[in-house]
């Protein structure tokens, strides 16, 4: 169990509970909750409020016989268990996106690698592996970026981020995250817009690397 000190913003926990958080962010927030009991308690508290809202809704009757049919269907149901099917090296729910074959890494140069887990017009989710002491290629944001540290640590102009910690960055933050010297840093990062690299070469490579 980790002891993260940099948490997910409260409204994102509420939005995850309500089912309105965009997919890449929802993945990062749910993975943080898997590693952080503090945010899990917060999430479950929001779920309690959701239950209170459900209680107070004006009920709309189902067709006659719906209850009898549903009770009769119970016998044919196998019980479910919260089984895991993905890569056990990664925390849930990211493990299910990584799959049993492991991530498909591609080089970003200078020893840095990334594996795209999900991408669509609404944003992207990727794993990033940065060698000890190396920076993430310099970039600014067109939108919101959520970065969760899975192993190792990185620092930037705003502070230090260790395993389980989340950094929230928006278009106003122009930062250079750098893996600490202790070892490589593995992160999962979600964005709702493509990243923009400032240096000329990485900008040309963006379509190629899909970042």
Partner 1 sequence: MGWMEATVQGGISDQTRWMLAVRDAGDRNAFALLFGFYAPRVKAMAMRMGAPAAAAEDLAQDVMLRAWQSRAQFDPSRASASAWIYGIARNRRIDVARRAPATLPEQIAAEPGPGEAADAIALGQEVVRLRQALRMLPAAQREMVERAYLGGLTHQEISRQTSLPVGTVKSRIRLAIDRLRYELRELRT
Footprint of partner 1 (CB under 8 A): 1, 9-12, 14-21, 23, 25-27, 29-31, 33-34, 37-38, 40-63, 66-67, 69-71, 73-74, 77-82, 86, 91-93, 96-97, 118
Q: Which is nearer to partner 1, 95 or 114 (CB)?
A: 95
> What is the rounded distance in angstroms from the CA atom of residue 65 to the CA atom of residue 171?
55
Nearest distance from C-beta of residue 170 to partner 1, angstroms:
11
Nearest distance from C-beta of residue 93 to partner 1, angstroms:
6
Helix, strand counts (H, E) of the chain? 6, 11
Closest by CA to 93, choosing from 20, 29, 10, 3, is 29
> What is the rounded distance in angstroms from the CA atom of residue 136 to the CA atom of residue 131?
9
Q: Which is nearer to partner 1, 124 or 154 (CB)?
A: 124
Nearest distance from C-beta of residue 95 to partner 1, angstroms:
9
> What is the rounded distance in angstroms from the CA atom of residue 158 to the CA atom of residue 46?
29
Provide the edge-to-edge strand list for the sheet that holds 178-179. 159-162, 153-156, 178-179
Q: Which is nearer to partner 1, 62 or 199 (CB)?
A: 62
Residue written as tokens 């009898």?
Answer: 68
Nearest distance from C-beta of residue 101 to partner 1, angstroms:
14
Radius of gyration, alpha carbons of the chain: 20
CB 128 within 8 A of CB 184: no
Q: Which is nearer to partner 1, 18 or 160 (CB)?
A: 18
Q: Which is nearer to partner 1, 144 or 179 (CB)?
A: 144
> What is the rounded distance in angstroms from the CA atom of residue 189 to the CA atom of residue 27?
10
Q: Which is nearer to partner 1, 119 or 180 (CB)?
A: 119
Strand partners, 118: 125
Nearest distance from C-beta of residue 29 to partner 1, angstroms:
8
Nearest distance from C-beta of residue 158 to partner 1, angstroms:
19
């Amino acid at each position: 169990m980790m002891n993260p000190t940099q948490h997910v913003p409260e409204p994102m926990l509420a939005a995850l509970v309500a089912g309105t958080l965009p997919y890449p962010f929802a993945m990062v927030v749910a993975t943080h909750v898997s590693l952080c009991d503090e945010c899990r308690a917060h999430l479950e508290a929001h779920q309690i409020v959701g239950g209170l809202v459900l209680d107070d809704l004006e009920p709309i009757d189902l067709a006659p016989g719906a209850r009898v049919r549903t009770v009769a269907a119970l016998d044919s149901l196998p019980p479910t268990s919260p089984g895991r099917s993905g890569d056990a090296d990664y925390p849930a729910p990211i493990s299910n996106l990584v799959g049993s074959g492991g991530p498909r890494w591609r080089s970003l140069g200078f020893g840095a690698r990334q594996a795209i887990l999900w991408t669509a017009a609404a944003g992207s989710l990727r794993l990033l592996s940065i060698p000890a002491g190396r920076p993430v290629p310099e970039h600014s944001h067109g939108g919101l970026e959520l970065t969760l540290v899975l192993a190792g640590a990185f620092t930037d102009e705003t502070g230090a981020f260790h395993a389980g910690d989340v950094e929230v960055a928006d278009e106003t933050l122009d930062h250079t995250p750098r893996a600490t010297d202790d070892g490589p840093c593995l992160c999962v990062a979600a964005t709702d817009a493509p990243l923009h690299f400032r240096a000329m070469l990485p900008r040309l490579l963006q379509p190629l690397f899909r970042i």
